[in-house]
Amino acid sequence: ILTPGDQPNVLVAMNPAALITNVGTLEKGGTVIVNEDGFSEHNLRKAGYESNPLEDGSLDDYQLFRVPMTSMTVRATEGIDEITARDAARSKNLFALGLVSWMYGRPTESTVDWIEKKFADAPAVGAANLAALRAGYNFGETAELLAVHYEVDAAPAPPGTYRNVNGTQALAYGLLAAAVQSGLGLFYASYPITPASELLHALSRHRRLGVRTVQAEDEIAAVNMALGAAFAGHLGVTATSGPGMDLKAETIGLAVAYELPLVAVDVQRAGPSTGMPTKTEAADLMMALYGRHGESPLPVLAPSTPADCFDCAIEAARIAVTHRTPVILLSDTFLANSSEPWKLPDVASLPKIDPGFATDPTGFMPYARDAKLARPWAVPGTPGLRHRIGGLEKEDGTGNISYAPANHEHMTHLRAERVARVSVPDIEVDDPDGASLLVLGWGSSYGAIQAAARRLRREKGLHVATAHIRHLNPLPGNTGEVLRAFERVLVPEMNMGQLVKILRAEYLVDCESFTKVDGLPIFTRDMIEQIEARVG
């Protein structure tokens, strides 16, 4: 299962306002279930209807089912002490849940368990909700009103232990795993901002694992704290969304000069400025790559699925720690809020991350280099390893302040080369039929691209190749080879074409761009249309 689907199949509308707001998102021929009791003349006028849509034919494109949910819920809860008719009516959403559970053959045991735990301190309310749930399920089972009933089989999956995670949870677990695999304390500082705030909530629940979380007074303080924690020998992490990344830019540039590990997570959302805080977009790529003053390169990577956020978090920490550099991880609203079954990894298979702290004072120089061009990570207080840090240009080796022109040019090239030496796996291309078109994506477009290619191969016999880029800086070593192996390359993005500009500039290949910036994710149908327009 690669995506949550392009459109809802069923809309449950409790009142006219819900119907008029959401019916446009429903697929044609889909099912509309309305709470008939909520469609009074007063409610119709408030929603802006001039006539009753249940009777004027405006819903003829859908399967319409009228169910008196409120009155049936009230009847189902009669006899429960302490529950008035008004209280009972508030349980109608559980009636709807029971009805939809029957429609899709979903077991209700987990829902019943949740209700009992949720309302353990209010047994009367719990009883009302349980009665409503069962009434809805029984209505679907016994009434002949609904002509649709589906049995949903389990999706095929390799054997293992699975749990459901969204991108935020997977990212939190990945950061925890990186701290364990590196032996470092995890320090996380952030300022609340939608949709990145949930990462602070998720990590703050793990104090018993040694996680330190701070809700800072602003974005600048948060990133400064995280960098200070890195200087002190911890895994320093901060997270935000686009507006917060603007404010963190100076300190991230300072981390480039410090040459210290820092992980900055950007859960992208629609901009500019405040934009649409709850809508998705992936338009911060150029900012991640170039949004700092001076030549300040750093690695950038982006997960492709909610579960991939786990692996990407470990990879970001590995790069930051072993290459002594800040790293930007680009998630987005769609990934953060989407969920999928995640197979629990074999802990023994997770990569080890060696911080390689400096401990020997003999001949110590704070800006000496190893084979990766990484400088020593000397924790303050280690005997004989005192050194100066700051934003002024350093002399290579000694770390002394230097204004020498030749040294600045040398250090500028050295910092760029250090990032270029980050080990990045090659792009893997899925091309079973020798296609002439490659669809190359990044970030959360993965599911839509793969679903479209799979459907077009199966249903129409079209030849289309796909590939996905996780590491956006440095780019994989075979990127140019992959681009030149196809007659046409299509790059879908939730921005105005940022990666495609980089690919054109770096490899002189005339990649084609498909952009979407309406606050919604790229859908499978979008990719089917774009691919068919080129090879159909």
1-41 tens-digit pLDDT: 899 999 999 999 999 999 999 999 999 999 999 999 999 99
Residue 429 has what pLDDT?
98
Residue 157 has what pLDDT?
87
Evaluate if residue 147 carries a pLDDT over 70: no
Residues 6 or more apart whose CB falls under 8 angstroms from that of 201 comprise: none
What DSSP string runs through 198-218?
HHHHHHHTTGGGT-EEEE-SS
Mean pLDDT, all residues of the chain? 96
Continuous segment of H or E residues that includes residue 174? helix 167-182
Residue 143 has what pLDDT?
83
Rounded to an integer, the average pLDDT of 87-113 is 94
> pLDDT tier at 198 (50, 70, 90 boundaries)?
very high
What 3-state class would DSSP assign to 362? coil
Rounded to an integer, the average pLDDT of 84-108 is 93
22 phi, psi to nearest 5 deg: -115, -10
Residue type, 164: N
287-303: pLDDT as tens digits: 999 999 999 999 999 99
> Distances from the Cα of 309 to the Cαs of 177, 213, 241, 320, in angstroms?
12, 20, 16, 16
- The sheet with strand 471-473 has its strands ordered as 212-215, 186-190, 235-240, 262-268, 326-332, 300-301, 471-473
What 3-state class would DSSP assign to 161? coil
User: Token pair of 55, please?
Assistant: 């009777």
Contact between 268 and 331 (Cβ < 8 Å): yes
Contact between 493 and 444 (Cβ < 8 Å): no
Residue 180 has what pLDDT?
96
334-369: pLDDT as tens digits: 999 999 999 999 999 999 999 999 999 999 999 999
Q: In whole angstroms, give the CA distance from residue 528 to residue 453.
A: 8
421-480: pLDDT as tens digits: 999 999 999 999 999 999 999 999 999 999 999 999 999 999 999 999 999 999 999 999
Among the ranges given (31-40, 70-79, 153-162, 398-407), the one the predictor scored with the smallest mean pLDDT: 153-162
